[in-house]
Amino acid sequence: MPELTMQTETTPMRAMQPILRKPDATDGKLIWELVRSCRPLDENSIYANIIQADHFRDTCVLAELNGDVVGWISGHMIPNSDAFFVWQVAVSPKARGLGLGKKMLRELLSRDATAEARELKTTITQSNEASWGLFRSFARDVGGDLTDQPHFTEDEHFHGECATEHMVTITLPRAQASIARAA
């Protein structure tokens, strides 16, 4: 019989492994609260997070650690394309340093819903160092090329209210199963 270990207040969070799963509509408020705790991420409405968790559950992932929601990635396959678009990545401060962002990306790219993806795309502002670090590291891990170019511009799209979003594209040269196993 396997030995069971119980988490105590002294068990470091890093020793725990997050549970990754598909979200459901009842997770919407928890997702919204997580995103709010991860400033400067843009907050969607609770309703938008409910719709993401319900309608796009196959291309979104939720991470739980000790019963708490500590990670979230929303995404979708771009219509009429072989590209998977990552809309938002949120990792709770209490789960940072666990490699959770990359684990969630690998989980998503191992699913049937993303099996046709040959590229991963996302948009990132120049100042978002954490996102650049995550996606550059992920590209290295999967052996993909990362390119970027201004996409949604500060003046044309945001009328001076938000910084330019760069479209980041990572080629996915390996089979999806290899991506899921990549460390």
42, 50 Cβ separation under 8 angstroms = no
As to burial, measured by CB atoms within 10 angstroms (0-12 exposed, 13-18 middle, 19+ buried), residue 106 is: buried
Regions of the chain short of the pLDDT cut 50: 1-11, 13-14, 176-177, 183
Q: Give strand ranges (E) for the chain.
A: 19-21, 61-65, 68-77, 83-91, 119-125, 146-152, 165-171
Q: What is the per-residue pLDDT across 116-131, written as a single tens digit (0 to 9) for each? A: 999 999 999 988 889 9
| pLDDT attached to residue 155 | 63
Q: Which long-range contacts (CB under 8 A, 24 or more apart) does 106-109 make?
A: 106/179, 106/180, 106/181, 106/182, 107/20, 107/61, 107/180, 108/59, 108/60, 108/61, 108/73, 108/75, 108/84, 109/84, 109/172, 109/176, 109/179, 109/180
| pLDDT attached to residue 183 | 47
Q: What is the per-residue pLDDT across 50-84, written as a single tens digit (0 to 9) for each? A: 999 999 999 999 999 989 999 999 999 999 999 99
Q: pTM for this one?
A: 0.84
